[in-house]
Amino acid sequence: MIDRSHFEKLDQGDSLAFARDRFRVPEGLVYLDGNSLGPLPTHVPGRLAQVAEVEWGQDLIRSWNANGWWELARAVGDRLAPLIGVPAGSVIAGDTTTVAVYKAAAAARRLRADRAVILTDSGNFPTDLYALSSVAQQFDAILKVVEPGEVLGAIGDHTAVVCLTHVDYRTGRRHDMAGITRAASAAGAVMVWDLSHSTGAMDLDLSGADMAVGCGYKYLNGGPGAPAFTYVHERHHESFANPIAGWWAHAEPFAMAPAFLAVNGIERIQVGTQPILSLAAFHSALEAFDGVEPGDLRRKSERLTSEFIDLVEADLPEFEIVTPRNPDDRGSHVSLAHPEANRIMRTLIAADVIGDVRPPNLLRFGFAPLYQRFVDLWEAVDRLRHIMDNDHWRDAPDPRGAVT
């Protein structure tokens, strides 16, 4: 096995090592699931207590104006904008990722109402496929689902919308964002990206893209059930139509006018009153990225995934690495196939190494560059090797609960 000291040295040379202290990760726990639920930033509980005690408890309804509640979704978006590489004022938080996909895809479809096809790929997250299929049914379009490698060839003059998830939640395969966006634009299609497994782990080049959505509780550490976010390019701010007209997107919400008149701007994608406590947690959590460049995150993420792949190749030959070997083709998690994936992961979790499983046979390990230590990789592989050598997985603890 590669020596532990190699990983200790990598930690010593890690220019992002300072950010680890911005999080509470329980002592002794090797947490490799920040791609599913980011850990708690240390300063968030204090901020949440203040919002509850002072803003809600004392200031009450005055907080909408006095404490910035009305603009909070937009303030979260402005903190996200540099992480996504887009201008402030073009991102806003709200709803869930599924709802955000639905709204963006429906708005995109209506920008190209003259064309029939919404194009996506079979590796997309199932909820995205469900939402896109709803859009196709309700807005008179055809949902075309192709293999991930066939997307470029499938874009044509019938394509109204291309909607893809940048990094595959199972395999970690990453689409060529710039190349596909260019092809979609050249064909006159509207390009919508889902950045759920990207934002917070890498730099992004959305130039030319029309819209994007993403998840708040993964690499962004916004907390369980944190609101999602939506980006809309400024060129559409006065023209796109939200499929659900609601008062938070009204030009004058407090005029209480009987007719809907959409506001110009990113607020147009909003619907109704936002969950202020969750938005406050998300807003505060994003301070953990202060002073961190997305390019630095990407460099460290590449190194983390490469080092992990090397370790697995050397020490865990019974596992098949399904994540692309070329760093340009992968995101920030690595998936290993094994017929006993479920029992092995349950045993590993019992040994305080937390990853997760995805059907049919994948063990998934996420490496969040903001706080991950390199020694965590060594610890995970060491404990996994021990479990395999001793057949401990045969006595795996019973599965508990509905969530994998």
Ligand X SMILES: *Cc1c(COP(=O)(O)O)cnc(C)c1O
Q: Which residues are catalytic?
A: 125, 194, 217-218, 364
Which residue lies nearer to ligand X by CB, 97 or 270? 97
Minimum distance from residue 126 beta carbon to ligand X (Å): 8
Which residue lies nearer to ligand X by CB, 165 or 230? 165
Whole-angstrom distance, CA of residue 54 vs CA of residue 6: 48
Question: What is the CB neighbour count within 10 angstroms for residue 213?
Answer: 32
Whole-angstrom distance, CA of residue 11 vs CA of residue 45: 28
Helix axes 4-12, 374-389, angle to 10 degrees: 160
Minimum distance from residue 9 beta carbon to ligand X (Å): 33
Minimum distance from residue 249 beta carbon to ligand X (Å): 20
Residue whose C-alpha is closest to residue 196's, from 25, 337, 19, 366: 366
Which residue lies nearer to ligand X by CB, 23 or 169? 169
Question: What is the CB neighbour count within 10 angstroms for residue 152?
Answer: 15
Minimum distance from residue 201 beta carbon to ligand X (Å): 12
Whole-angstrom distance, CA of residue 125 vs CA of residue 90: 25
Q: What are phi and psi of 58, to 5 degrees?
A: -105, -50
Tokens for 155? 């874009």
End-to-end CA distance of the chain: 30
Which residue lies nearer to ligand X by CB, 112 or 218? 218
> Which residues make up the interface to ligand X (CB under 6 A)?
96-98, 125, 127-128, 165, 169, 194, 196-197, 215, 228
Q: Are 33 and 356 in contact (CB under 8 A)?
A: yes
Site of tokens 């979609």 = 184
Which residue lies nearer to ligand X by CB, 97 or 181? 97
Instruction: Please tell me what DSSP assigns to residue 272.
Output: S
Minimum distance from residue 35 beta carbon to ligand X (Å): 8
